[in-house]
Amino acid sequence: MSEKHSIVEIWVYLSGSPLFALFLTLAAYQAGLWIYKTSKQNPLANPVAIAILLVACIIQFIEMPYSTYFEGAQFIHFLLGSATVSLAIPIYRGLASLKGRSLPLLVSLIAGSLVSIFSAVNIARLFGADASITGAMYPKSVTAPIAMGIAERIGVSPTLTAIFAVSTGILGAILAPFILNALGMKAWWQRGFAIGIGAHGIGTSRAFSIHPEAGTYASLAMGMNGVISAVAIPIIYHLFN
């Protein structure tokens, strides 16, 4: 009984430790990545989606409060800011390849961003969503760290915005290959740029795993979309609210 009691005490201590939450997050993502590679990069086996499901099920099973989980996960959350700044690297690297493509890419970026905003907001309104939800829809197609910053500027919930942004990225990464194939889009730079606009960071990771040119243009689109949206979305939000 004493050994069993000791094991229970150790488990109670570990499950309440921020380091356990950090380990759980990293382990869940590694499990998702392994499943993704084992499935030969099947878009349905998205590693982020798998990791989220694993973490959600485990913390629910062990009855860990979200606040306790976030104490450990915040170390990863803190790195999102640094990752956002590093977007300058793919933008710089991709500038040389924009010759002759600048205008169509810029038009695509503006059109994609506007369609993403107005379609999401109006669909939410159509289903009777309140202002807190529709407001969080405005920045949801920007990479999560920038989206949360925009949410704070326009006075909507950063938490809701992050949920919508991550969900958008996961769905975009899963569905984009099927949609682009159906549209007959074959050029890697076109596919990558479209994924970067619609599915930001998670989609960009998916694009890099398939082809380097797709990944480069996806990261370029994600970075440009983030910079433009950080300025434009607060203006658009206040015009329509």
Confidence of residue 100 (pLDDT cuts 50, 70, 90): confident
Say whether pLDDT at 121 is over 80. yes
> Percentage of residues in the chain with pLDDT exceeding 90?
2
Residue 62: strand, helix, or coil: coil
Residue 35: strand, helix, or coil: helix
- The pTM assigned to this predicted structure is 0.75
Same domain, 62 and 92: no
Overall number of domains in the chain: 2
Tens digit of each residue's pLDDT (9 = 90 or more) over 196-238: 888 887 888 888 888 888 888 888 888 888 888 888 899 988 8
DSSP 83-147: HHHTTHHHHHHHHGGGTTTHHHHHHHHHHHHHHHHHHHHHHHHHTT--HHHHHHHTTTTS-HHHH
Same domain, 134 and 154: yes
Same domain, 116 and 16: no
Residues 43-67, mean pLDDT to the nearest whole number:
83
Q: Contacts from 15-20 at CB under 8 Å and sequence distance 24+?
A: 15/62, 15/64, 16/64, 16/68, 17/72, 18/68, 18/71, 18/72, 19/72, 20/72
Instruction: Find the radius of gyration of the CA atoms of the chain.
Output: 20
Same domain, 21 and 91: no
Domain end marker among 85, 117, 145: 85
Same domain, 41 and 114: no
Domain that holds residue 42: 1-85
pLDDT at 94: 67
Confidence of residue 7 (pLDDT cuts 50, 70, 90): very low
Same domain, 37 and 79: yes
